[in-house]
Each structure stands twice: as structure tokens, then as C-alpha cells.
Structure 1
């Protein structure tokens, strides 16, 4: 079945018309970084632009003051353009979220302008707190993506990769409770909670040698006692868990709990194990949509390749969205691969001339892909078939 003729030339014209505005938005966000769940000025800037273009804006979605969903059109098919805009404390936009926000905004405005009145809907979703707060995960749980056919975004990086190798992750708090005593005056009366916590680290170190590829546990002691002449009655650690898939993460969390309970039984302590963060699922790429985006971006002279096997770039709450709807999350380089994000150098690159060129190219590719989703029923069918078939490791 052949695809209908799609208005890519008009997309290009609309992007060119808005290029200056979108760079102003990216620059304003870059100059005024706000941390996770505190992105009030960023959310206001983005929603004002969407309202000015005629989108119906709902603020505070999913109970999050800095989240929003802006819709133009009605019903299905529906495509969501995602925006991240939280910054890193002390580093500003060292993950390039100012570019992600401007790209999502621009693609939504352009797709709406090109397809206005032709059916379906464009949804611009503001997703706060990607850097640890899990805004997208909370929005997924609140149903924000329940009536969406595709979720599209990009991420600036140091590689040009067609898909994101993003793993699953979550953090746990483990607290051991024993009994305080003087270590010399009444040593047999004490039950050392810190010793139990240290033993858990030893057990996890041994366990780590038997974990599958991509799974690991990294822990720190967050409370180890109050004085050297008191047997600690309480000790607490925080453990970060990562795994290639969400299922493997569940298995790893079960192993952590089993180890903690075993240590508690052996040491005579009581233990509490509880999740301390929102869980980020692994990213499931929609190959058909990522391929379509890559083809559009190639016209701008940026060629995307598959990620290097065995290289993983952390975790993101886009994984939770990709478990609900077909989704894309390509990486497009704004600096060479000798650098890294979460650095001052990357923050500078997010406001550089190269960053500006990438923004314009990505807005066009995202908008063209959004138009494809809304106009091409065969593409939507193939994307949903791939999604329902599931995806393994990133």
C-alpha cells in the first residue's frame, strides 16, 4: 500500500518561518535554568506560545504544577510531541533540554499549521523532571497518553543514533534497625545495624559477579550511626539498580530484597526495603517511526546510525511512554563524541551555533514524522503492530 502524498515542502516553509522564534525560546530556557518540578517559568513560556497558536492548554496535568498538555484538533489519530525543560542543579542545561523543549514546541506548531482542519489531533506534552523526578512516568500513570498513536521527541547528544539505548532503573532505600549499646560497657546488649548494612554491601558485591549483562547495583550509606561510642541502632543505605529491561529490573529488585532479608535474619536486625524513586522502564524503540524520522533528518545532511552495541546511555522516563505507545527518542549530536553530556561543555553546546542548526533540522524531521503519523494509516498500523509485538533489550 503506497503512502499518500505528504506536504513536506510546506513543513519546510513553516519551519523556516518559525526558526528565529524557536531559537529565542531555546536561548531563553538556556539562560534561565530551573530544576526538576521547579520549571515554572519554562512551562509558562511554552504554554503561552501554544495558546498564542490556538492550542487548548491544560496546565497541571497528572497533578504536577509544571506539567501541561496542549491540544489542537480532536480525536484520533493523535500524535504527541514531547518537551523536556528541567535543568541540572549547578550545570544548567547540560543535558540540552532547552533544545528538546524548543524542538517539541516547534514540531507541534508546524504540524498543526500544515494539517489544520484535516482531522486528528496534535498534542504538545510538557514533561517536567526527567532528571530523576519521572514526570513522564507520572503522566503515563495518569492517562495522558491513553489516546495517543505515537510519541515523538529527540535528545541532543554526542552521537547521531537513530534510537536510544536506554536501560531500566530505580532506587531503593534499605534501613536496618538494631539496638543501641555501649561498645565496651555492654557490648553483648547491642545489635549493630551498621554491621548489617555493611554485610549487605558484601552480599551485593558477591551477587554482582553473577548478574546478567547490563544489570548492576550501586549503593551508598546515607546514615551510619550518631557516635563512635554507641553501637548504631539504625543504619540506612540507598541503592541504585539498573538493568537492560524492565523485567530484568524487577528480578534485580527481588534479589536485593531477598539479600536484605537474609542479612537481617542472620544479624538479628529488622529491615525495611522500599522503592525511593519513580521507576524508569527501558526504552522500546518504534523502528518504523525511528526509520521515518531518520529519513527526514537525512535531507538536512545528518545521517543517523544504529547505536554502538553494548554502549548504554543511562535511563529516561521516555521508557515508560514507550511501553504505552509507539515512541521515538533518537540522539542527534551537538558536539563531537570526545565529550559527554552533564558537563559544562555540553551546556555550552546547547546554546551554540551547531545546536541552533540541529534544532532547525530536528524540528523539520519531527514535524514531517508527525504529519506522517496523522496522514498515513498504513504507517500507524505498522507502528502499532511493532509495539504490540514488544521489544527486548535496548
Structure 2
């Protein structure tokens, strides 16, 4: 039995709509799978998803949505709006692929699911009941399209953001950590290592010492915190003491606040190494910051209850397991949001592999897509029609702030 059954009064709220939603999903099933398949066959990487964005906006425009392209100053971002006024439910659509692997994260299914849920929700709702908003969010794989859209105000005035992610587990929420990257550069003084060794100040030695300090630091970091670094510049020739050396460090932490603490520790370590070695150091953020994901428990439970009708039972994530980071975290800190995982292959597999890319175009992938479209659309109808549900969702968000 599902851990997230719909309460009797909740089931009564949506019962009259379920058959209509299911009918609308069935009517669009082949078209939605054609979109997912077309995206899968033509993968485009971060901020270059021009054909994907055109395909999705054309579908939404044909359905009567008001489309705005190049939102937030991003060439492949868009919004598509139907209905009017508050409340507003947003469906984030991801459609970037991985270099060399294609849709090995299943973003073709995320885009088709958001598209389908937006079309179905619009079809079963009256325009006076609120707004359905599809948001094209490029470059989740490192570029942070959602984070940039949040900063530009794209999600302002939204009452819920609903999406799913294909995976190898059926989990009601995503255990996603905060992450960012920093560039750390040490500057010393060049010299000949044998002709004038005392004149040199070895910037590479300083950078290597920072790696040693970070290694020691790692042994006492809290659960979920991690620093991984690489050397991106170590000098120009073996007969020149390196006057400049640079590394790139990826930081992860369970919460955004813990990530800030970790960045401060890295900065303190870098400054201490510079003082000890006679170098100077500069540390700059080298990526968009992904905040940790804050789950809207009430909305995730509602989605899980709807998905259970399709025979897919979601459970809480396994304790102590973290599945990376995503820019949906930046949305979830400002808007009640869901990001469940629904399996398209077995737990012996992994995303970011060729096998997962194959699963994203499989018959199981199609079944999951259509089940998720129904559950997302039903959850959206619930949100738009139930003021108490929206209030509880905002209460969830306030409890998870920080």
C-alpha cells in the first residue's frame, strides 16, 4: 500500500476530474511520446538547445498558450502561459543533454512531461481558475538556467512548481544537495629553479599545499559536505618556478547555509596557505550556485497519491543517499516545489550512462511519462482549486527555510 494515499476528502475533490484528465492524457499520448522521442534523437547541450526550445514553444503556441521567448536574457529559455491571474502553477521543463551521452539524464522525458501536464491542466480548467505556466529552463547540467531565471524574477508570483525526474528509484522527493565551484589562483614569482632558486616563489607549491589542507579538512566535515579539486594551471615549463597556479574546487553541502560555511573554510585555508608561502591568492566563484532542494511535503504527497493510481508507488529516499544537485533547489527556496524521482530502469543502473540514455527512449520510459503527466496535471488542478492546499504548501516552505 502507498505511504501517500489520498484522503477521502482529497479524493472527492479530484474524482470528478480524474476521468477527464486521463482522457486528455490518452488523447495526447502519441504526440507527447513523439516530442520526447524527437528530443532524444536530437540532443543539444547547455544553452544551445535551440531546436528543443522551438519544438516545445511551437507545441504550446498551437495550444493557445501565450509564449515569451528568450526570457531572463537566455536564448533558449521561455515561458508559456494560459489562463489568468492567481493562483499560478508552473511546470519547469528541462531539455538540455549531456555532452557525448545525449539524454542520459532523461531530460527529454522531463520536457515532455511538463509540456503534457501543462496542456492537460489547461484543457480541464476554466481560465478563471488561475494560470498554468510552462517554463523552459535550459542548462540544468551545470549552467543553472533555473537559478538565472529565479534571479530574473521568472518564478515571482508562482504558487507551486511541479516537475519530476526519471531515475532508478521511485522516491517521493529528491535528496539534492547545494553545490558551487570556486576558482583559486596563487601568484608567486618566477625564477630559474637552479640558477636563482632563492628568487622564486612557487605558486604551484602553494596550490598543492592547499590540496593537502583540504584533504585534512575533509576528515572533519559534516555529513553531506565535500570538496573536490583539480589543477587547471600549474605552470609553463619545468625550468621556470611557476609564478601562477590555479585550481578549481567543487563544493557540496546538505544545505545552502552549510555550503556558505564550507566556502568560508576554503577561503580561510587558501589565505592561510598564501601567508605561509609568501604568495598572494584570489578566490572567485566559478559557477552558478545550486541551492539545496526544499521539498513541499504536502504537494509531493499529493503527487504520490495520484501516481499510485498508475501502479507506481513512491517511497521516501534511502537515508544517507544523496543524488547530486540541481537548480530546482533555487526555485524550491522561493516557491513550493516538488521533484520526485520515478524509475525508468532498475536500481542496478545509474543516470549519466549510455544505458540510462537508452531507457529514456524505452517502452518503460513511455509508460512512466504518461503516468507522470496524469499525476502532475491532477496535482496542478488540486493546487489551483484548493486554497487550503496552497496554504499548507507555503507553510511547508517556511518550515524548510534556511
TM-score normalised by structure 2 residue count: 0.96
Aligned-residue offset at 1:386:
1.1
The equivalent position to 1:74 in structure 2, one of 61, 74, 84, is 84
- Deviations 1:84-140, CA, capped at 9 Å, x for gaps: 000000000000000000000000000000003232100000000000000000000
- Deviations 1:248-281, CA, capped at 9 Å, x for gaps: 0000000000100110011111100000000000
Corresponding residue for 1:203?
Answer: 213
Unaligned runs of 5+ in 1: none
The equivalent position to 1:345 in structure 2, one of 355, 376, 379, is 355
The equivalent position to 1:387 in structure 2, one of 393, 397, 400, is 397
The equivalent position to 2:171 in structure 1, one of 154, 161, 181, is 161
Within-5 A mapping of 1:107-186: 107-186=117-196
Within-5 A mapping of 1:247-326: 247-326=257-336
Counterpart Cα distance in 1 of 2:22 and 2:385: 17
Aligned-residue offset at 1:193:
0.2
Counterpart Cα distance in 2 of 1:352 and 1:217: 36
Aligned-residue offset at 1:391:
5.1
- Deviations 1:204-263, CA, capped at 9 Å, x for gaps: 111111111110100000000011110000000000000000000000000000100110
Corresponding residue for 1:42?
Answer: 52
Q: Is the 8 A contact 1:285 1:391 kept in 2?
A: no
Runs of 4+ more than 4 Å apart: 1-4
Q: Is the 8 A contact 2:167 2:344 kept in 1?
A: yes
Corresponding residue for 1:5?
Answer: 13
Counterpart Cα distance in 1 of 2:82 and 2:278: 61
Q: Is the 8 A contact 2:84 2:127 kept in 1?
A: no
Counterpart Cα distance in 1 of 2:397 and 2:159: 11
Unaligned runs of 5+ in 2: 1-7
TM-score normalised by structure 1 residue count: 0.98
Q: Aligned Cα RMSD in Å? A: 1.0
Counterpart Cα distance in 2 of 1:110 and 1:77: 17
- Deviations 1:323-348, CA, capped at 9 Å, x for gaps: 01000000000000000000000000
